């Protein structure tokens, strides 16, 4: 018999609709019943692509005996962490505070019904006793006994936890700090100390891409190039990392796109779920590396990653959230090969020999007796081994890849969570716009433009943004990252195709963000809006986590928009975010890379290039200015429609000039330029 989750919009919640557990979605009905009956709440937070969520669901939530205990002892609530990142953020933080270590998914917490604070936090919990832990059913009985017999201890612990959560959210410098670039200087040595010198990346196993840190390494490398030098140590670290990720098992060598993380330090075997946000954060890194010639050999990986987005995640209206780690009853089975299955895909002996040498099918199996392929030999090495020229090798590998991809498509595919998350779609729009601009890919810019228009049309209603769309219906009031990432995407699109409607939307979005999220007393922005339901804590996201810091993106975008429009209110709000974050910027630079990018923009604003004139005439000027990834600049080809522009953006009155360019840094703009050679010379001396 189906439970209350059968009517949920979330595919993850619907996966649990047939459980014997009497699940509620998070909402007033469940919370009111818990308060009325004074029963603790068992809250389970997960997401559709999560392997260990599936394991716990199969072991425990589908078990009638376990379900009977859950239903008898608790009010049971299921939450999709992608729909409700506010709840996930609070209870992951509580897990860290109570257990002294990070949480994860599934997150299993037991809450008191009155204050919704947890007195137990765990993650995956096995059904049967294991590694000294009791089985889940026995643990449920123990937790409930503790609830009945130790109420004073629970109240004391909850008071301490509430105070700790409040302190974290409310932290701010006692005096207004003087913002300087000093933390930026401390970041380079910290990054290099954290880099794995053998395999690239940061830390050991499990190894995540950490795109925010890689973006800062790129910026450091580019700044050195703009100064006329080469930072060899930084560039070597970047190349080692990007090549390790792109040629290793983290990247789907057949279908494109990146898996979530590597379970080992060598980028060999991934955890097989695919997340939209990983693609969105890694695609612009690859585009920068290709455009700057740092790693031109990654262009095929970049192309396949964008192809993956369009082939497997694009649906009506936007990009879907995730692909499951599991398929056909096991983790990663959709992606695994044997020599026999590769030959059966239609590869003749010639193509198979080349493919096997490239992707390691001629080496021992590397995953539970089968092969997860990675690129083990370069095109040049294969050309030498097989006596072929590199273009022929590339052509034959492309044919082999297409044969394998076609054969793989006939397998049982991993489930797709087809909800469209505003924040993640916005990251993808930014990625496509920036990458298309750098590499002259109008098709990528066109896709970004269409995604932006569809998102704006469906998720922006009556001056308010919504966080989730499914089947054309938007729901769940948006959070700070939805607003911040979409603000960034809008500014990126304005640099590709200036549009008065997009500018108006960008301004409305920024105004709504500040109205709904800004802490006007201490600075910074809350993750949830001012009119959100009361919860045990109201975090202000400071550090980079899986996603970039929403406060960091907000500050950088407000600085860009404030300089573009000459609006001090945006500049001051950005400054207040940085002042609020200053203690962490000084002491924890590695976890604040996105906020440090905003600090860099504050201390040394990027150039803003504004081009006026007919679109065709502006085109070559725009192309020159945008195709230099090392430069820190925003380029806006505004055109000649002065009547629709704010006064600060209207073209200077210069007679008979086909194009008029203004180069600005912060509040200062140079004299207008109407000669192309003078324009290129001015940009050359204005780096970075």
Residues facing residue 461 across a β-bridge: 464
- CA 99, 101, 107, 112 torsion: positive or negative? positive
Q: What is the largest CA-CA distance in the chain?
A: 86
Residues 437 and 497 placed together within one structural domain of the fold: yes
Contact in structure between 245 and 265 (CB atoms under 8 Å): no
Arithmetic mean of pLDDT, 599-618? 95
Condensed to tens digits (0 to 9), the pLDDT of residues 447-477 reads 999 999 999 999 999 999 999 999 989 999 9
Say if 313 falls within a structural domain: no
Residue 387, domain CATH: 1.10.10
Contact in structure between 244 and 199 (CB atoms under 8 Å): yes
**Tokens 């209110």 correspond to what residue?**
569
Q: How confident is residue 1, by pLDDT bands cut at 50, 70 and 90? A: low
Q: Which of 405, 416, 425, 435 is nearest to 465 (CA)?
A: 425
Q: Which helix (H) or strand (E) holds 532?
A: none
pLDDT of 655 > 70? The answer is: no
Say if 229 falls within a structural domain: no
Say if 238 falls within a structural domain: no
Residues 533 and 573 placed together within one structural domain of the fold: yes
- Domain enclosing residue 562, as ranges: 420-603
Residues 377 and 504 placed together within one structural domain of the fold: no
Prior bond of 106 cis (ω within 30°)? yes
Residue 456, domain CATH: 1.50.10.20
Q: How confident is residue 603, by pLDDT bands cut at 50, 70 and 90? A: very high
Lowest-pLDDT range of 4-8, 133-137, 426-430: 133-137
Q: What's the mean per-residue pLDDT of the chain?
A: 95
pLDDT of 92 > 70? The answer is: yes
d(CA 446, CA 388): 38
pLDDT of 106 > 90? The answer is: yes
Contact in structure between 90 and 535 (CB atoms under 8 Å): yes
d(CA 192, CA 217): 9
Q: What's the pLDDT score for residue 208? A: 97
Residues facing residue 417 across a β-bridge: 322
Say if 259 falls within a structural domain: no
Arithmetic mean of pLDDT, 340-367? 97
Residue 484 neighbours by CB under 8 Å, 6+ apart: 513, 525, 550, 551, 553, 554, 557
Arithmetic mean of pLDDT, 236-263? 98
Q: How confident is residue 652, by pLDDT bands cut at 50, 70 and 90? A: confident
pLDDT of 171 > 80? The answer is: no
Say if 203 falls within a structural domain: no
Q: What's the pLDDT score for residue 179? A: 97
Instruction: Indicate the SS3 state at residue 106.
Output: coil
Beta-strand pair 607-613/659-665: antiparallel
Contact in structure between 309 and 257 (CB atoms under 8 Å): yes
Number of structural domains in the chain: 4
Condensed to tens digits (0 to 9), the pLDDT of residues 179-209 reads 999 999 999 999 999 999 999 999 999 999 9
Say if 328 falls within a structural domain: no
Say if 292 falls within a structural domain: no
Lowest-pLDDT range of 13-22, 488-497, 658-667: 658-667
pLDDT of 502 > 90? The answer is: yes
Condensed to tens digits (0 to 9), the pLDDT of residues 390-445 reads 999 999 999 999 999 999 999 999 999 999 999 999 999 999 999 999 999 999 99
Instruction: Indicate the SS3 state at residue 183.
Output: helix
Residues 64 and 129 placed together within one structural domain of the fold: yes
pLDDT of 360 > 80? The answer is: yes
Q: Which of 205, 199, 232, 198 is nearest to 217 (CA)?
A: 232
Residues 447 and 519 placed together within one structural domain of the fold: yes
Q: Which helix (H) or strand (E) holds 489?
A: helix 480-496
pLDDT of 503 > 90? The answer is: yes
Label residue 405 exposed, middle or buried (CB < 10 Å: 0-12, 13-18, 19+): middle
Arithmetic mean of pLDDT, 533-559? 97
Residues 74 and 112 placed together within one structural domain of the fold: yes
Residue 670, domain CATH: 3.40.30
Condensed to tens digits (0 to 9), the pLDDT of residues 551-600 reads 999 999 999 999 999 999 999 999 999 999 999 999 999 999 999 999 99
Q: How confident is residue 285, by pLDDT bands cut at 50, 70 and 90? A: very high
Q: Which of 142, 116, 125 is nearest to 40 (CA)?
A: 116
Say if 182 falls within a structural domain: no
pLDDT > 90: percent of the chain: 91
**Tokens 């021992």 correspond to what residue?**
364
């Amino acid at each position: 018999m189906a439970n209350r989750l059968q009517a949920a919009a979330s595919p993850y919640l619907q996966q649990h609709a047939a459980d014997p557990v009497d699940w509620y979605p998070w909402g007033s009905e469940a919370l009111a019943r818990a308060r009325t009956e004074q029963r603790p709440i068992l809250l389970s937070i997960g997401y559709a692509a999560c392997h260990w969520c599936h394991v716990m669901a199969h072991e425990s939530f589908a078990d009638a005996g376990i379900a009977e205990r859950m239903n008898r002892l608790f009010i049971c609530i299921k939450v999709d962490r992608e729909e409700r990142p506010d709840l996930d953020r609070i209870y992951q933080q509580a897990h860290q505070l109570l257990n002294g270590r990070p949480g994860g998914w599934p997150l299993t917490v037991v809450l008191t019904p009155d204050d919704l604070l947890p007195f137990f936090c765990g993650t995956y919990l096995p059904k049967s006793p294991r590694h000294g832990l009791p089985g889940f059913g026995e643990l449920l009985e123990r937790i409930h006994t503790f609830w009945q017999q130790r109420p004073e201890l629970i109240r004391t612990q909850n008071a301490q936890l509430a105070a700790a959560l409040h302190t974290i959210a409310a932290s701010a410098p006692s005096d207004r700090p003087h913002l300087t670039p000093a933390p930026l200087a401390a970041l380079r040595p910290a990054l290099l100390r954290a880099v794995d010198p053998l395999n690239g990346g940061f830390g050991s196993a499990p190894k995540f891409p950490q795109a925010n840190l890689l973006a800062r390494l790129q910026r450091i490398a580019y700044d050195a190039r703009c100064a006329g030098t080469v930072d060899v140590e930084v560039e070597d670290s970047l190349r080692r990392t990007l090549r390790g990720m792109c040629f290793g098992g983290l990247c789907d060598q057949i279908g494109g796109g990146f898996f979530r993380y590597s379970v080992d330090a060598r980028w060999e075997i991934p955890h097989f779920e695919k997340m939209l946000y990983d693609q969105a954060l890694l695609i612009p890194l690859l585009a920068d590396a290709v455009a700057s010639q740092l790693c031109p050999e990654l262009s095929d990986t970049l192309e396949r990653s964008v192809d993956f987005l369009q082939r497997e995640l694009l649906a009506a209206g936007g990009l879907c959230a995730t692909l499951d780690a599991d398929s056909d009853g096991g983790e990663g089975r959709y992606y695994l090969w044997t020599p026999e299955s590769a030959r059966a895909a239609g590869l003749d002996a010639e193509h198979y020999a080349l493919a096997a040498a490239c992707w390691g099918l001629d080496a021992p199996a590397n995953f539970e007796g089968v092969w997860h392929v990675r690129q083990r030999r370069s095109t040049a090495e294969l050309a030498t081994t097989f006596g072929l020229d590199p273009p022929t090798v590339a052509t034959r590998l492309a044919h082999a890849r297409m044969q394998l991809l076609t054969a793989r498509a006939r397998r049982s595919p991993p489930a797709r969570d087809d909800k469209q998350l505003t924040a993640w779609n916005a990251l993808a729009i930014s990625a496509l716009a920036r990458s298309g601009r750098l590499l002259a890919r109008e098709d990528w810019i066109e896709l970004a433009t269409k995604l932006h228009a569809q998102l704006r049309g469906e998720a922006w209603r009556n001056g308010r943004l919504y966080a989730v769309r499914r089947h054309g219906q938007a729901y769940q009031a948006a959070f700070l990252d939805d607003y911040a990432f979409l603000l960034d995407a809008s500014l990126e699109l304005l640099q590709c195709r200036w549009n008065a409607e997009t500018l108006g939307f960008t301004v409305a979005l920024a105004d709504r963000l500040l109205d709904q999220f800004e802490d006007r007393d201490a600075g910074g922005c809350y993750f949830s809006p001012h009119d959100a339901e009361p919860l045990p804590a109201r975090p202000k996201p400071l550090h980079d986590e899986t996603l970039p810091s929403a406060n960091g993106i907000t500050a950088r975008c407000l600085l860009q928009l404030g300089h573009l429009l000459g609006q001090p209110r945006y500049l001051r709000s950005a400054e207040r975010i940085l002042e609020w974050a200053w203690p962490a910027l000084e002491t924890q630079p590695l976890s604040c890379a996105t906020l440090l990018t905003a600090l860099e923009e504050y201390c040394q604003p990027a150039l803003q290039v504004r081009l006026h004139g007919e679109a065709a005439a502006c085109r070559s000027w725009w192309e020159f200015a945008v195709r230099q990834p090392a430069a820190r600049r925003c380029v806006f080809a505004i055109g000649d429609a002065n009547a629709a522009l704010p006064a600060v953006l209207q073209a200077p009155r210069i007679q008979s000039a086909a194009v008029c360019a203004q180069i600005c840094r912060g509040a200062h703009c140079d004299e207008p330029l109407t000669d192309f050679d003078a324009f290129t010379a001015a940009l050359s001396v204005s780096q970075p």
